[in-house]
Amino acid sequence: MILLLCLLLHPCTCYWISRNPYAGVKYDLSGGDVDRSPAFDPTFDLHRKHILFISVGIRGHTTPLLRIAEDMVRRGCNVSFATHDSGKEWVQRTGARFVSAGAFPISAEVLRDKLQAITRDASNFRGILNMFNDIYIPTAQPMFDALFPVVSLDPPDLVVVDIATIGGHDLVHKLGLPYLVNSPSILFDIGGTPSYVPAWGTGFSIHMSLWNRCMNLLFPRLLSVALTPPFMQINKARWELQLTPYRSQHDMFKGARVLVNTAVGLEYPRPLSPLVELVGPIIPLDAFNESASDAALPPLVTQWMVGDDGLHGVIYVC
């Protein structure tokens, strides 16, 4: 109880507060108000640049980046994709050059069991912690060690790194590479989201009971405290690399331009940092390559929208 009161009375102890020079204006919801993305160059020719994508070898994280990489390859760009060896075939299908991040530190069977256990667990809180402790943290250092000698010999002009690929973040910070961050979902935020908006990870709808509202207020703060031990491990590795340690979870993408794979109309209204771009879902190009009369959604998408029996799908507006 004392801990909960401290969190409510002193939320600033759990997250980083921007040094915003404009009184009364709070826009720093992604951990930094300094744009560190590359400056705009009107003579920029993408075809002459080397673009590197980095992601852990988990399908849900690689899929959006693979679709972007495939489109860039079709446009004649020089594209490389760094991921674990288990994702080599995924990369080869796009036509991008595969860069090995080594073997995934967890066997396919163990990874599948862990992901299934997290999916079946009714507690989103515990599931998020397990993802960090059992998957994201163990992959960070091996990925950095595998990619550092390769990328340092042939530095790309731009890196697009998955938000949960911790080793990729350390790599771009160590080499000082310009980069973008891709997030498959809306960003985790501790204090900037209005109280009536469901907090990230709660699974609540906007129609919350009194208990849900209390938990909605506490959940991000409790999660921030619970993630302290994993981030201590991350900071230990960063200290060994002579990198600035993270002071909060937001520091992972502080000052970076972030691409979020959702759209304004799909999310509850909330303030966003000017560095965050809602680019919408990354749809497979194959869905648009057919003529209008033959075009069809992928079977899994169709099944999700209409339901198995055609009666219990989702409601959508065109």
Residue 313's contacts (CB-CB under 8 Å, 6 or more residues apart) are 304, 305, 306, 307
DSSP bridge partners of 275 = none
Task: Give the sheet arrangement for strand 179-183, strand by strand.
Answer: 97-100, 78-83, 50-54, 158-162, 179-183, 257-260, 276-278
DSSP count for the chain of H helices, then E strands: 10, 7
Check if the beta carbon of residue 70 is closer than 8 Å to that of residue 94.
Answer: yes
**How much is the pLDDT for 60?**
86
Of the candidates 171, 178, 166, 175, the residue with the CA atom closest to the CA atom of residue 251: 166
List, for the chain, all residue ranges whose pLDDT scores fall below the cut of 50: 1-33, 190, 293
Q: What is the DSSP letter of 192?
A: S
What CA–CA distance (Å, rounded) separates 80 from 156? 9
Contacts of range 178-181, beta carbons closer than 8 Å, 24 or more positions apart: 178/37, 178/38, 179/256, 180/37, 180/256, 180/257, 180/258, 180/259, 181/253, 181/256, 181/257, 181/258, 181/259
**Which two three-digit tokens encode residue 183?**
């997030």
What CA–CA distance (Å, rounded) separates 188 from 30? 8
- Write out pLDDT tens, residues 254-304: 788 899 888 777 777 777 788 888 888 887 766 555 555 455 667 777 777
Residue 74's contacts (CB-CB under 8 Å, 6 or more residues apart) are 95, 285
**How much is the pLDDT for 291?**
52
- Write out pLDDT tens, residues 205-221: 888 888 888 888 888 88
Residue 277's contacts (CB-CB under 8 Å, 6 or more residues apart) are 257, 258, 259, 260
What CA–CA distance (Å, rounded) separates 84 from 105? 9
**Which two three-digit tokens encode residue 133?**
């402790």
Residue 248's contacts (CB-CB under 8 Å, 6 or more residues apart) are 14, 15, 16, 31, 190, 224
**How much is the pLDDT for 106?**
83
What CA–CA distance (Å, rounded) separates 20 from 66? 36
**How much is the pLDDT for 228?**
87
Check if the beta carbon of residue 258 is closer than 8 Å to that of residue 163.
Answer: yes
Residue 187: what are its φ and ψ, rounded to 5°?
-75, 145
**Which two three-digit tokens encode residue 249?**
């979870």
**How much is the pLDDT for 295?**
58
- CB count within 10 Å of CB 317 equals 4
Q: Domains for the chain: give ranges and CATH numbers.
A: 26-282 (3.40.50.2000)
**How much is the pLDDT for 11?**
41
Q: How many residues does the chain have?
A: 318
**Which two three-digit tokens encode residue 285?**
């190009």
**Amino acid letter, 124:** N
DSSP bridge partners of 159 = 52, 179
Look at residue 180 and give its three-state secondary structure.
strand
